[in-house]
């Protein structure tokens, strides 16, 4: 029986392969289809070879497009070629001569750097359109992002509006399995690639167990997209015997951020790099170091919410342990 993960990866590969045709580039002049879908076609085995998760060894020549580099040192071109060697743009110039590269005909198209999204909760992708008319905030029974997406589908419980520390409904676990997190990450990445958003930041918020965390990271890596995985907490149900490891601890590579840094992020030269969603206050209640210090100790960039006020920024600035160089921080 085909597993859900294999099914999604197969479909995602087809989406990625079809994207070349959808944006106007084609694999050759014979690839014209006068049917109702025009140039949109299913990916062939040749299209998919090393496309998802491992395209680093490929040489690809994007031929004859209008090239907008957005780099004044390189300039823009009315018609030019781009040679991609593995994961590097090796050359941009008119009429590049090369004999060992795949040729992609980009005539009549604009070739430019992909867009970047700086904040996304990609695990929520499976919930698309679950509350199309919902509000951002509002307590149950009002349908809102908070009550439906965050309470029901993320936490697996609905807080009592009168007594927020208690629940009016509790599933006993998060509705998400690790496999659901994997699928969400992969579908989100491939969907955004198809829209030209080739780089992003995923503020995870679904690290309910170590297995959930691992699944999200693997989904990002299997997509082949350039991403920052901003490690963020999930729902702590350790009192019920469910393992919970966020955020980890200084000098500890057996759990939390230390574990995933050692397991998945041992190089800065990779498509998926490590970020951290912990705040500028104590990393955990009573700790002698801040969340920012913990992240920096493991080489992670910092990604914090600052919704509805300036408290996060003020608190961070008032603590000298967070330093004066915030070039690694995104709010």
Confidence band, pLDDT 50/70/90 cuts, at residue 165? confident
Q: Are residues 158 and 106 in the same domain?
A: no
141 within domain boundaries: no
Q: What is the DSSP secondary-structure string of 155-224?
A: ISEEE-SS-TTSEEEE-SS-S--HHHHHHHHHHHHHHHHHTTEEEEEEE---BSSHHHHHHHHHHHHHHT
Q: Could you report the per-residue pLDDT of 114-130, keeping only the tens digit for each?
A: 999 999 999 999 998 89
Task: Please check whether residue 34 lies inside any domain of the structure.
Answer: yes
Residue in 224, 266, 219 with CA at minimum distance from that of residue 56: 224
Q: Give the pLDDT band (50/70/90) at residue 31.
A: very low
Q: How far apart are CA 204 and CA 214, in angstroms?
A: 11
Q: Check whether residue 84 and residue 173 sit in a common domain.
A: no
Residue 75 has pLDDT above 90, yes or no: yes
In a domain, 65, yes or no: yes
Are residue 305 and residue 160 in the same domain, yes or no? yes
What's the pLDDT band for 50 if we cut at 50, 70, 90?
Answer: low
The whole-model pTM stands at 0.80
**CATH code: domain of residue 79:** 2.30.40
- Do residues 165 and 75 share a domain? no
pLDDT tens sequence across 170-226 = 999 999 999 999 999 999 999 999 999 999 999 999 999 999 999 999 999 999 999
Which residues does residue 302 pair with via DSSP β-bridges, in sequence order? 276, 329
Please check whether residue 145 lies inside any domain of the structure: no
Model pLDDT, residue 28: 47
Domain count, the chain: 2
Domain housing 304: 117-126+154-330
Q: Which of these three, 112, 145, 167, is where a domain ends?
A: 112
132 in a domain, yes or no? no
Residue 146 lies in a domain: no
Q: What is the mean pLDDT of residues 139-155?
A: 93
Residue with tokens 């959808």: 22
* Last residue of one domain, picked from the residues 112, 143, 178: 112
């Amino acid at each position: 029986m085909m597993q859900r993960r294999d099914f999604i990866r197969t479909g995602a590969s087809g989406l990625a392969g079809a994207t070349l045709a959808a944006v106007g580039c084609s694999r050759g002049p014979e690839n014209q289809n006068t049917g109702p879908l025009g140039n949109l076609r299913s990916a062939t085995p040749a299209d998919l070879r090393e496309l998802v998760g491992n395209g680093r060894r490929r040489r690809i020549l994007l031929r004859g497009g209008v090239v907008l580099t957005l780099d004044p040192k390189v300039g823009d071109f009315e018609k030019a070629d781009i040679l991609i060697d593995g994961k590097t743009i090796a050359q941009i110039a008119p009429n590049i001569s090369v004999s060992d590269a795949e040729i992609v005909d980009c005539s009549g198209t604009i070739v430019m750097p992909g867009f970047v999204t700086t904040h996304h909760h990609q695990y929520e992708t499976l919930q698309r359109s679950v509350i199309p008319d919902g509000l951002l905030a509002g307590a149950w029974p009002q349908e809102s992002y908070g009550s439906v997406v965050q309470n029901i589908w993320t936490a697996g419980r609905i807080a009592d509006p009168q007594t927020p520390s208690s629940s009016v409904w509790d599933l006993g676990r998060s509705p998400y399995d690790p496999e659901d997190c994997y699928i969400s990450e992969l579908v989100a990445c491939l969907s955004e690639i198809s829209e030209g958003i080739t780089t992003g930041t995923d503020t995870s918020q679904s690290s309910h167990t170590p297995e959930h965390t691992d699944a999200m990271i693997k989904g990002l890596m299997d997509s082949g997209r350039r991403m920052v995985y901003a490690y963020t907490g999930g729902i702590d149900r350790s009192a019920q015997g469910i393992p919970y490891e966020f955020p980890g601890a200084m000098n500890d590579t057996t759990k939390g951020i230390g574990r995933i840094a050692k397991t998945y992020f041992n190089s800065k030269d990779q498509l998926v790099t490590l970020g951290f969603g912990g705040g500028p206050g104590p990393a955990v209640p009573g700790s002698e170091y801040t969340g920012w210090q913990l992240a920096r100790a493991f080489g992670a960039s910092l990604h914090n919410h600052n919704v509805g006020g300036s408290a996060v920024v003020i608190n961070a600035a008032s603590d000298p342990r967070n330093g004066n160089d915030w070039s690694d921080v995104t709010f």
